[in-house]
Amino acid sequence: MNQLVRIDTSALPPLVTAAGDQAEIRFLEFFAGQIRNPNTRRAYSRAVGEFLTWCQYAGVASIAFEAR
């Protein structure tokens, strides 16, 4: 059975929000739509959040794709 999950978009990692609305949507779709198990979803979300925080402190300016 699928359950609706309320997601707090203010808690998104800064690198995701800086990448724009499309990045926010894709980020949320992945965690809310692709991972059914809530424990797995929380674990993955925490791990990605920690990685993106590390990226920010390591000087990564953006995760947005830029076509050349």
User: In the chain, what are the domain boundaries?
Assistant: 12-57
Determine contact, residues 49/13, Cβ cutoff 8 Å.
Answer: yes
What pLDDT is recorded for position 41? Answer: 87
| CA pair distance 11, 2, nearest whole angstrom | 23
| Count of CB atoms situated within 10 Å of the CB of 11 | 8
| CA pair distance 65, 41, nearest whole angstrom | 24
Query: Whole-model pTM?
Result: 0.69
| CA pair distance 61, 36, nearest whole angstrom | 31
pLDDT digits (tens, 9 = 90+) for 39-52: 998 898 889 989 99
What pLDDT is recorded for position 51? Answer: 93
pLDDT digits (tens, 9 = 90+) for 6-64: 666 677 888 888 888 888 888 888 877 888 888 998 898 889 989 999 999 999 988 88
